[in-house]
Amino acid sequence: MKHSAGSARTGHPVLRYIGRTFAVLGILLLSAVVLITGAVGLTCKGPSVAARDLFVTTVQQYDTLKFLPSLFLSDAEIDAILASNRLVPTEATTDTTFGFIESEDPDAEPIQKLTLQGDSYAGMLLIVKDPSRIELACVSAFGAEQTGASVESFAEQSGAFAAISGGSGGVPTGFVIQNGNLIHGSKTTAASIIAFDTTNRLLVGNMTAEQALNAGVQNAVCSETSAIVVNGKATEIAGLGDGLHPRAVIGQRADGAILLMVIDGTKSAVPGALLEDCIYETLKAGAVNAAILDNGDSAALLYQNAIQNSAPAAQDRCAPVAFVVL
């Protein structure tokens, strides 16, 4: 009996070790949940209205996080915050009656690469001197069951030097026009467009696909975020806009050069850019028209076979469309 009892006791330390390990892990997990919940509560109900609004607007872009404000705020409170922090839609569209001006630097490189740095963001800007090099690449089929394609795939398929994402998943926002043909969406529903016409001018603003085709648009996609610069003027922002996010932005200077900008985000050191940051950077680069192509983790810019921002894995940043530089 003593031998049996001693043998039984020799097995207990392993079981006790496993049990204690799980107990410690459980305590750590519970502590993390309490700390995170407390931080969210302090942000939502604390003294800083700006911190609350920034948190609420930012997490709305992410399906896995957007529930957090509802732990402490009612749906009506969240809706009111979103309504008072947004990009104010503009009725203005690109004025195509003016021609391109002569470049200030006729000897500039065909493609220039610049780095961007702000208080909450880091990014990169490509300046493409010849706007006729911009084309629209699309996946072979749109649909909710489709995953979209990475910028690497778009560039490889079209033999492009660069590619910038437009949206996420397999369904484009609004309508899509490619090579002068409406390939997705309704002719009569207005949307915020990002388009190029037969003169290689970038058109931004709200219009229907029918209006776009009548205006000579050859390639067009739509964005949930309205144009941020129209005819040299910044679009009005209410409050803090739509929060801090990674961004993919496209613009055009008065001399026709195309601006392709990507901004990092979702990291503690560089959480992302506000809309006002995007406006500041595009205007500083000389944009007369500019719009947000992509918000969130799907934002990506490829140049010379390398992703130029700290984007997630390729499968997490697939898009239905992309503008490419041939």
Could you tell me the pTM of the whole model?
0.85
What pLDDT is stored for residue 174 in this prediction? 93
Residue 3: what pLDDT?
Answer: 47
CA dihedral 137, 143, 145, 148 (to 10 degrees): 10
Q: What's the structural domain count of the chain?
A: 2
- Check whether residue 51 and residue 116 sit in a common domain: no
Residue 146 and residue 150: Cα distance in Å, rounded? 13
Residue 159 and residue 253 share a domain: yes
The residue to which tokens 């009656």 are assigned? 97
Residues 112 and 14 in one domain: no
What the block records as the tokens of 63 is: 């399906």
Say if residue 315's pLDDT is above 60: no
- Of residues 28 and 304, more confidence is placed in 304
Q: What is the model's pLDDT at position 178? A: 97
Query: Same structural domain for residues 140 and 280?
Result: yes
pLDDT of 5 reads: 47
Q: State the Cα angle at 113 between 297 and 290, rounded to 5°.
A: 60
Which of 84, 113, 139 is where one domain is finished? 84
Same domain? 134 vs 99: yes
Q: Are 114 and 231 members of one domain? A: yes
Give alpha helix (H) positions in 68-131: 75-84
In this prediction, residue 73 carries a pLDDT of 87
Same domain membership, residue 212 and residue 104: yes
Q: What is the largest CA-CA distance in the chain?
A: 101
Mean pLDDT for all residues in the chain: 85
pLDDT at 317: 73
Q: Write down the pLDDT at residue 107.
A: 80
Q: Look at residues 58, 84, 110 and tell me which one is the last residue of a structural domain.
A: 84
Whether residue 274 sits in one domain with residue 145: yes
Residue 7: its pLDDT value, please?
Answer: 45
Residues 78 and 168 occupy one common structural domain: no
Q: Quote the pLDDT of residue 133.
A: 97
Cα angle for residues 205, 208, 214 (degrees, 5° grid): 100
* Domain that includes residue 45, residue range: 2-84
| Chain segment 251-264, per-residue pLDDT in tens | 999 999 999 999 98
Residue at which a domain ends, from 45, 67, 84: 84
Q: Are residues 65 and 203 in the same domain?
A: no
Residue type, 154: F
**Chain segment 86-125, per-residue pLDDT in tens:** 888 888 999 988 889 988 777 889 999 999 988 888 899 9
In this predicted model, what pLDDT tens digit does every residue of 149-192 receive, in sequence order?
999 999 999 999 999 999 888 999 999 999 999 999 999 999 99
Q: Are 111 and 127 in contact (CB under 8 A)?
A: yes
pLDDT of residue 6: 47
- pLDDT greater at residue 279 or residue 27: 279
Q: What is the mean pLDDT of residues 209-216?
A: 96
**Domain shared by 95 and 79, yes or no:** no
DSSP bridge partners of 202: 196
Q: Are residues 246 and 316 in the same domain?
A: yes
pLDDT of 312 strictly over 70: no
pLDDT on residue 37: 72
